[in-house]
Amino acid sequence: MAIRVCPLCQAEFLEFKNTCTHCGVALVDPTEDVDVRLLEDGEQVVYDLSAWPIDAQTETSMVFAESSLPHQWDGTDLIVPAVHEESADRLLERIEDQFGLVSDEELDRLAEAEAELRDPDSVDDTSGGETEYDLIGWDTPRRAELVSRLVELGIAHRWEDDMLVVPTPREDEVDGILDDMEGVDPGATAQAAIEPAEIASTLFLVADRMRKGKVDAERYSRLCEVLEAAEPAQAPYGWNPAVWEQALELGEDLADAVADDTDEIEQTATALYDLLRPLI
């Protein structure tokens, strides 16, 4: 009997199922050969990844190949069927997080907000002078987080190369933001917001790969990320809390096995896979 596969968690379903009961995305028929470029404009989605570094583009190629998601490349443009747009978005978001990238939509939103604040009719009174902050060591994701906070508080600002300039009357507020962000990973907030369902999906996917001997730095990093965000008291909807706690314990054991490079990696991964398989 034919099966369909979830491109995110790789769970298998009978052919009459159209949507993954765990991830909520459209399933893929692995036997279906789709020429995505021949689809009508409204039936395909094109992602322009020309601004992404080559490492991120390479990772994208590998991730999409592993996912079985129908797709094709046209130069640096990634083309997928519109029915699988949500799956593609979620896969690309993971890669953005992995490489510290900021999406075009987020940059556009921040640019529009900055433009509004710079408007002569809305900019704070600068009669009290301006204060400069040298942020030469800040990368793009951290700066994006800073701008987002400034916009939220309505603090007018501008960039002069690596120098952030704000009205001196708002200096105390900016100092508070910078103090709060000092030493904080810009991705920490997003990590803490990972849903239990996504954590379970990731544990299942990582366990499935590692039980087959496919262990690498990327999968280990993702495993550690979801384990750090997981809360034993917050199980996925409909799960037995005891099973959830057991899954997290096995996940921790698997992370330890990988970190110590022991012979128990495949055994622990198999135990985690067997535990989650009936639930995914």
| C-alpha of 113 from chain center | 23
Q: Which residue has the higher pLDDT, 83 or 102?
A: 83
Tell me whether residue 163 is in a domain. yes
Distance CA 269, CA 271 (A): 5
Give residue-wise pLDDT tens across range 60-73. 988 998 888 999 98
**Same structural domain, 275 and 237:** yes
> Is 38's pLDDT higher than 80?
yes
Mean pLDDT, rounded, of the chain: 82
pTM exceeds 0.85, yes or no: no
**Same structural domain, 17 and 73:** yes
**Same structural domain, 160 and 219:** no
Closest CA to 113 of 100, 103, 123: 123
The CATH number assigned to the domain holding 145 equals 3.30.56
Distance CA 12, CA 68 (A): 12
pLDDT at residue 80 in the model: 94
pLDDT at residue 127 in the model: 60
By residue range, what is the domain housing residue 251? 193-279
Q: Which of 186, 201, 227 is the last residue of a domain?
A: 186
Alpha helices in the chain (DSSP H): 54-67, 85-99, 104-118, 140-153, 171-181, 188-192, 196-210, 217-229, 241-260, 265-276
Backbone angles phi, psi at 3, to 5 degrees: -125, 160
183 confidence band (pLDDT: 50, 70, 90): low
Return the residue matching tokens 């408007």. 119
**Same structural domain, 74 and 15:** yes
Give residue-wise pLDDT tens across range 91-130. 998 888 888 776 666 656 655 655 554 544 444 455 678 8
**Same structural domain, 7 and 94:** yes
**Same structural domain, 269 and 197:** yes
Residues 6 or more apart from 127 whose CB is under 8 A from it? none
Tell me whether residue 146 is in a domain. yes
**Same structural domain, 148 and 197:** no
> Is 34's pLDDT higher than 60?
yes
- Domains held by the chain: number: 3
pLDDT at residue 83 in the model: 93
End-to-end CA, the chain:
20
Q: Is 76 exposed, middle or buried (0-12, 13-18, 19+ CB in 10 A)?
A: middle
pLDDT at residue 52 in the model: 84
**Same structural domain, 180 and 198:** no
Q: What are the distances in angstroms from CA 172 to CA 157, 177, 178?
A: 14, 9, 10
Q: What are the distances in angstroms from CA 26 to CA 13, 207, 251, 264?
A: 11, 22, 27, 35
Distance CA 182, CA 188 (A): 13
Contact predicate 210/254, CB 8 Å: yes
